[in-house]
Structure 1
Amino acid sequence: MPVLTRLIPSPLFVEVRRGALDSLAGILADQRLSASGRVAVAISNGSGARLRERLEPLLPGADWFDGADGTLDGAVRLAEAFRGGHYDVLVGLGGGKIIDAAKYAAARVGLPVVAVATNLAHDGICSPVSTLDNDAGRGSYGVPAPIGIVVDLDVIQQAPRRFVAAGIGDVISNISACADWELSHRETGEPVDGLAVAMARSAGENLLRHPGSLEDPDLLTALAEALVLSGIAMSIAGSTRPSSGACHEISHALDVLHPKRSAQHGEQVGLGAAFASHLRGEREVTGLIVERLRSHGLPVTADQIGFTETEFTEAVHYAPNTRPGRFTILEHLDLSPSAIRDAYADYVQAVNC
């Protein structure tokens, strides 16, 4: 009998521990990514710039590049800046914007990229997607996933608590995204990759039920690992499907309709996941998501991130336009604005009981 297997795209290494940043040069050499030390380092203006002074003596052969404006044009400029440098690897050091820019830039010039995260705000640290602002708003671009992940827990503990909490919201939204994917399978026959679902949902369930606080190193480790699993799940699926359903459609709609007022991505998708679960009639799941979001100071109603009921209703109605061809509970119900307003009023009443 033949043994059937498949190759799973995944990082070459994942380092999640205290002091990992000080070991970066050794990690790159040990993994045979850069024995010569010819490294390009793309840094953010905030945390990346602050860490540069600490890392420069440890990476004497590195060249440093500023590339964290979060735009497609900025990522293209970053690629052009190090195109002729004959580097072994590109290191993206900072938050989500610089890591997304680094992934896109590295893809343009054919370099492997190592993500060194200074916060855990969303699953971009390991995903095969770069989210960048463009002339039309914001776009998602397919790129190779990072070849390595480095998360220094000492650095993460210094990040703004809001960013860490947002990462929890992003991971928990996997639960809703997977439910939407399975709904699409039942209603439209869309194939579901069971392994991708198992990884993404397990990551979400782990954070949903983890009792730790934002100051707990065990929770931070669990969050970092969950974000990595979410990224691998997307690589396995070949799309963002295991981590992006109605929850993300709602978030993208808020970004499009109110680009200057959008909250943290993880805050928006966490709220979107709770509301989408309510629309699917999953009362127990909705209650668990709301409870966990609240425990970490995350929003559970639109007004808590600065949106009125009318604005949230408009965003939910517009949301399917952000992902044409994707089937979620929003496409399934196809609610009118008045029906969405009523459903949201029911949701608010339920979560405030």
Structure 2
Amino acid sequence: MPLLARMIPAPLVVDVRRGALCELAKILADQRISPSGRVAIAVGPTHGPVVRETFQAGLAGADWFTVDGCTINAAIRLVEQIRPRQYDAIVGIGGGTVLDVTKFAAARLGLPMVAVATNLAHDGIASPISTLDNDAGRGSYSVPAPIAVLVDLDLIGQAPPRSVRSGIGDIVSNLSATADWEAAHRLRGEAIDGFAVSLARTAAQAVMDHRGGVGDDAFLTTLAEGLVLSGMAMVVAGNSRPASGACHEISHAIDLRYPGRRAFHGEQVGLGAAFAWFLRGDADHFNATVDCLYRHGLPVRPADLGFSLDEFAEIVCYAPLTRPGRFTVLEESALTPERTAAKVAEFDENVRARTQEIARD
């Protein structure tokens, strides 16, 4: 009997714990990523100097580079700095900006990339996508996923709590994104990957069901592992479908229409997911999403992001234009501007009532 299977690239190492960064040199050698320790290490300008001072003694063969900005130009500058020398791999140590720039640079140079996360703001930790600003606004670029992922909870504990909470919004939005994908499959015949859906949903549900918070190591471990699984779901699917639906279209619309008023990515997509569940008329998922966001101190109403109801309605109307060809509940609903404004007002009132109910309990 033939054995039917598929080969899926996955990280050689996923290490989530306190002190993980101290083991970087050992992991590079043991996994034969860089037995010599000859790697390029990219860090950010804020925390990078502290990270370098703390850990460079154990990484004597490495050269250190500073990433300045989450732009395509910053990524190209990093490529130009690294290209003249020979390295076994590129290591990105930082938050989403550093990791996205480093992934792009590694792809251009044909080198494996090791992601060391110092923040849990979104699921780019292990994803095959780099999100970078460009002259047209913001673009998503396909890149190889990291060959190893380390999350040092000591460093996560030093990150701003708001940015870590952002990762909760990003992972929770997977449930809405997979609902959009299933609708596209059912109504438009779009191909769907059940394994990718399972990974994305499992990651989201684990975080939603956990009663801890960002000050709890057990919760942070669940969140970090969920964000890695979300990235792997995109690897399996070959695109961002398992983690990006109407929720992300709304976030992209905010980025493009109000670039000076961007919040954290996870804050925007979390609110977008709550609105998408409301549009679907799914009270159970709407309530569960609002409950989770509210419990963790994330935005649940347009005003929490600094938008009036009229501004948010305009954002929702613009959102489908950000991803032409992607079918979500926004495209399915095909709301007129007037109907959108009415739905936004109704959504806001329902969220207000729900949060009041939570507060009373």
| TM tier relative to shorter chain | over 0.9
Partner residue in 2 for 1:261: 261
Residues 70-129 of structure 1 show CA distances to partners (whole Å, capped at 9, x for unaligned) of: 000110110110012100110001110110000000100111000001000001110000
Deviation at 1:213, TM superposition (A): 1.3
Instruction: Return the alpha-carbon distance in structure 2 between the equivalents of residues 18 and 127 of structure 1.
Output: 22
Instruction: Return the alpha-carbon distance in structure 2 between the equivalents of residues 49 and 284 of structure 1.
Output: 47
Instruction: Return the alpha-carbon distance in structure 2 between the equivalents of residues 188 and 274 of structure 1.
Output: 24
Instruction: Return the alpha-carbon distance in structure 2 between the equivalents of residues 48 and 6 of structure 1.
Output: 39
| One-letter amino acid of the counterpart of residue 337, structure 2 | P
Partner residue in 2 for 1:124: 124
Partner residue in 1 for 2:359: none
Partner residue in 2 for 1:204: 204
Partner residue in 1 for 2:135: 135
Partner residue in 2 for 1:63: 63
| One-letter amino acid of the counterpart of residue 20, structure 2 | A
Residues 122-179 of structure 1 show CA distances to partners (whole Å, capped at 9, x for unaligned) of: 0111000000000000000000011000101111111110011000100000000000
> What SS class does the counterpart of residue 155 from structure 1 fall into?
helix
Partner residue in 2 for 1:78: 78
Q: Is the 8 A contact 1:252 1:319 kept in 2?
A: yes
Residues 237-283 of structure 1 show CA distances to partners (whole Å, capped at 9, x for unaligned) of: 01000000000000000000001111000000000000001101111
- Name the CA shift for 1:337/1:50 in 2 (closer, same or farther; >3 Å): farther
> What SS class does the counterpart of residue 14 from structure 2 fall into?
strand
Partner residue in 2 for 1:106: 106
Instruction: Return the alpha-carbon distance in structure 1 between the equivalents of residues 63 and 180 of structure 2.
Output: 44
Deviation at 1:8, TM superposition (A): 1.4
- Are positions 1:183 and 2:183 aligned together? yes
- Counterparts of residues 1-353 of structure 1 (less than 5 Å): 1-353=1-353
Q: Is the 8 A contact 2:48 2:66 kept in 1?
A: no
Deviation at 1:2, TM superposition (A): 1.6
Q: Is the 8 A contact 2:302 2:348 kept in 1?
A: no
> What SS class does the counterpart of residue 41 from structure 1 fall into?
strand
Instruction: Return the alpha-carbon distance in structure 2 between the equivalents of residues 165 and 236 of structure 1.
Output: 26
> What SS class does the counterpart of residue 259 from structure 2 fall into?
coil
Instruction: Return the alpha-carbon distance in structure 1 between the equivalents of residues 253 and 247 of structure 2.
Output: 10
Q: Is the 8 A contact 2:125 2:228 kept in 1?
A: yes
TM-score for the superposition, normalised by structure 2 = 0.97
> What SS class does the counterpart of residue 260 from structure 2 fall into?
coil
Q: Is the 8 A contact 1:47 1:95 kept in 2?
A: no
| One-letter amino acid of the counterpart of residue 184, structure 2 | S
| One-letter amino acid of the counterpart of residue 312, structure 2 | F
Deviation at 1:49, TM superposition (A): 2.8
Instruction: Return the alpha-carbon distance in structure 2 between the equivalents of residues 9 and 283 of structure 1.
Output: 37
Instruction: Return the alpha-carbon distance in structure 1 between the equivalents of residues 308 and 224 of structure 2.
Output: 33
Instruction: Return the alpha-carbon distance in structure 2 between the equivalents of residues 50 and 303 of structure 1.
Output: 37
| One-letter amino acid of the counterpart of residue 92, structure 1 | G
| One-letter amino acid of the counterpart of residue 76, structure 2 | V
| One-letter amino acid of the counterpart of residue 349, structure 2 | Q
Instruction: Return the alpha-carbon distance in structure 2 between the equivalents of residues 235 and 143 of structure 1.
Output: 10
Instruction: Return the alpha-carbon distance in structure 1 between the equivalents of residues 225 and 336 of structure 2.
Output: 39
> What SS class does the counterpart of residue 260 from structure 1 fall into?
helix
Instruction: Return the alpha-carbon distance in structure 2 between the equivalents of residues 45 and 298 of structure 1.
Output: 27
Q: Is the 8 A contact 1:68 1:101 kept in 2?
A: no
Instruction: Return the alpha-carbon distance in structure 1 between the equivalents of residues 49 and 86 of structure 2.
Output: 23
Instruction: Return the alpha-carbon distance in structure 1 between the equivalents of residues 304 and 78 of structure 2.
Output: 36
| One-letter amino acid of the counterpart of residue 122, structure 2 | H
Q: Is the 8 A contact 1:46 1:94 kept in 2?
A: no
Deviation at 1:10, TM superposition (A): 1.2
| One-letter amino acid of the counterpart of residue 119, structure 1 | N
> What SS class does the counterpart of residue 16 from structure 2 fall into?
strand
Structure 1 residue runs of 4+, over 6 Å off? none
| One-letter amino acid of the counterpart of residue 48, structure 1 | G
Number of residue equivalences: 353
> What SS class does the counterpart of residue 139 from structure 2 fall into?
strand
Instruction: Return the alpha-carbon distance in structure 1 between the equivalents of residues 41 and 145 of structure 2.
Output: 17
CA RMSD of aligned residues (A): 0.8
Q: Is the 8 A contact 1:203 1:230 kept in 2?
A: yes
Instruction: Return the alpha-carbon distance in structure 1 between the equivalents of residues 107 and 57 of structure 2.
Output: 28
Q: Is the 8 A contact 2:252 2:322 kept in 1?
A: yes
Instruction: Return the alpha-carbon distance in structure 2 between the equivalents of residues 211 and 47 of structure 1.
Output: 30
Deviation at 1:50, TM superposition (A): 2.1
| One-letter amino acid of the counterpart of residue 194, structure 2 | G
